[in-house]
Amino acid sequence: MHRTRLVERPMDAALFRGVAGAPGGVVTAAAFLHDVREFSRMLPDGAHLVNLCRDRYRFAVAFGAAALRGQACLLPGDASAARLAALGAQFPGSAAAVDRPDPAIPLPCFAVPPPLGGAGTEAWALPSEGLAAIVFTSGSTGMPVAHRKAWGALAARSRAAAEAFGMAAGAPPTVVGTVPPGHMYGFEATVLLPLHAPASTWCGPAFYPGDVAAALAAVPGPRILVTTPLHLRALLAVGAALPPLHAVISATAPLGAALAAEAEAAWDAPVLEIFGATEVGSIAHRRTTDGGWWTGYPGVGITASEAETTVTAPWADPTPLADEVALDGGRFRLLGRRADLVKMGGQRASLSGLTQILLGLDGVADGAFVAPDDLGQRTGARLLAVVVSPRRSAGDILADLRGRMDPLFLPRRVLCVDALPRNELGKLPRQALLALLAQ
């Protein structure tokens, strides 16, 4: 049986920074392993641990403890009481790891303690094929779907990401992430990465622009900001002055070239993107301002047909993706999610691509194109555009869109609203958007 160590770093390597209660805020590999072992002793027998920790360090400890006990971590995304009750019914005997007890959680809760100050000496080797996590899609286009993650595959993807982004043991970067640890992107880039790659992760506050600037100033370089287009817009809107950055990495939503160029000019650092899917994790990267072509991580292959796009990787079985792509040797260009593509008058367009045109208009702070459910069935059905634009009228925006896209895809109506119902990752769940339109 092949095995993979929980931590593949030297015992004195700094894994986590900004950890409340740790000496100097730094937790080494040895200290992390000690905390993992101690918390694993507090957990009950059972097959699953729902990881609800918002604190990044406590989340990492809970994940490691579950792995050590051979339990899978459930990462639900939606932590509402109703969703957690449904998970408890689906996975009987599950418990929850939390930052602090909460009587509203309908599961047995176990609070992860702060750093205990001890030092472990053993980086346990776990079965590579063992189930480490079950990650659920956001449900932005429907019901959440579960995807099982093996321990060895998660570790291999961390190594591949480190190679793709040029992380070196001689100058390990510090990652400051604005994304929650329970989302697949945040899980991979801020929790798993320091366990298997030369990097450390900031675990203090880093959501609001002021917190992000303070966090980056508090850590040693080279610094990497792991974020989303939503957070990039917020940082640029307030003119956040950031210390020297090695790179900015973005994911969760398409990043427009104009926004990427603005960020590069503001902070004198390359803006990179990660492409991935909950089904298979992160698989490719690009520098946004260099164009639309993506390069796969080492060992990743993409095949495409009219019916299906498939990704292969050393850490995953061949997996179909929901995206349509164009291939060019070892690179690929995204044409849009298959569910995101709309066809009108014999022409096709991507809703996300149309939305990028909308977001590029002067005075548009946020917006989205929306397709009615019966677009392909009802004669005369047309797209809608929902826009946040305090100083422009709907008519002005519609006039500005003319000439920038095929007239077939011009919205029938432009609806101006105060804000779009985005979640903390900047995603726009379709049901929340439809509820807004229904108002």
Per-residue confidence (pLDDT) for residue 340, from 0 to 100: 73
Q: Is the pLDDT of residue 112 over 90?
A: yes
And the tokens for 279?
């089904």
Per-residue confidence (pLDDT) for residue 23, from 0 to 100: 93
For 292-313, the pLDDT digits (tens) are 899 888 888 888 877 788 888 8
Coil/strand/helix, residue 62: helix
Q: What DSSP line would sit under 391-430, residue for residue?
A: TS-HHHHHHHHBTTB-GGGS-SEEEE-S-----TTS---H
Sign of the CA dihedral running 258, 278, 376, 306: positive
Computed over every residue of the chain, the mean pLDDT equals 88
Domains of the chain from N-terminus onward: 3-336 (3.40.50.12780), 341-438 (3.30.300.30)
Confidence of residue 71 (pLDDT cuts 50, 70, 90): very high
Per-residue confidence (pLDDT) for residue 138, from 0 to 100: 62
Of residues 339 and 47, more confidently modeled: 47
For residue 111, list its beta bridge partners: 98
Q: Is the pLDDT of residue 139 over 60?
A: no
And the tokens for 405?
């896209």
Rounded to 5°, the CA angle 41-46-51 comes to: 75
Per-residue confidence (pLDDT) for residue 348, from 0 to 100: 75
Per-residue confidence (pLDDT) for residue 190, from 0 to 100: 96
Q: What DSSP line would sit under 26-44, residue for residue?
A: -EEHHHHHHHHHHHHTTSP
Per-residue confidence (pLDDT) for residue 249, from 0 to 100: 96
Of residues 112 and 327, more confidently modeled: 112
How far apart are the C-alpha atoms of 206 and 190, rounded to whole Å? 12
How far apart are the C-alpha atoms of 426 and 419, rounded to whole Å? 12
Sign of the CA dihedral running 192, 194, 199, 205: positive
How far apart are the C-alpha atoms of 101 and 115, rounded to whole Å? 17
Residue keyed to tokens 């989205």? 368
Q: Is the pLDDT of residue 143 over 70?
A: no
Per-residue confidence (pLDDT) for residue 374, from 0 to 100: 67
Find the mean pLDDT for residues 395-421. 88
In the chain, the N- to C-terminal Cα span, in Å, equals 57
Contacts of 72 (CB under 8 A, 6+ apart): 47, 48, 49, 66, 131, 132, 133, 134, 148
And the tokens for 210?
């002021």
Contact in structure between 245 and 266 (CB atoms under 8 Å): no
How far apart are the C-alpha atoms of 88 and 110, rounded to whole Å? 15
How far apart are the C-alpha atoms of 275 and 42, rounded to whole Å? 37
Q: What is the pTM of this model?
A: 0.83
Specify the DSSP element, H or E, that contains 433: helix 430-438
Per-residue confidence (pLDDT) for residue 111, from 0 to 100: 97
Per-residue confidence (pLDDT) for residue 330, from 0 to 100: 77
Per-residue confidence (pLDDT) for residue 118, from 0 to 100: 84
Q: Is the pLDDT of residue 62 over 60?
A: yes
Single-letter residue type at 81: A
What is the DSSP pairing of strand 331-337 with strand 323-328? antiparallel
Q: Which of 28-32, 114-118, 429-433 has the lowest mean pLDDT?
A: 429-433
Residue keyed to tokens 């392909």? 376
Confidence of residue 319 (pLDDT cuts 50, 70, 90): confident
Confidence of residue 121 (pLDDT cuts 50, 70, 90): confident
For 255-265, the pLDDT digits (tens) are 888 899 999 99
Per-residue confidence (pLDDT) for residue 312, from 0 to 100: 82
Coil/strand/helix, residue 311: strand
Coil/strand/helix, residue 164: helix
Coil/strand/helix, residue 257: helix
Confidence of residue 140 (pLDDT cuts 50, 70, 90): low
Q: Is the pLDDT of residue 58 over 70?
A: yes
DSSP secondary-structure letter at 115? P
Q: What DSSP line would sit under 107-153, residue for residue?
A: S-EEEPPSP---------EEETTSEEEEEE---TTSS--EEEEEHHH
Confidence of residue 9 (pLDDT cuts 50, 70, 90): very high
How far apart are the C-alpha atoms of 409 and 345, rounded to whole Å? 10
Going by C-alpha positions, the residue among 91, 75, 70 that lies closest to residue 186 is 75
And the tokens for 134?
């079950």
Going by C-alpha positions, the residue among 225, 334, 239 that lies closest to residue 277 is 334
For 154-191, the pLDDT digits (tens) are 998 899 889 888 898 889 999 999 999 998 899 999 99
Confidence of residue 225 (pLDDT cuts 50, 70, 90): very high
Single-letter residue type at 118: G
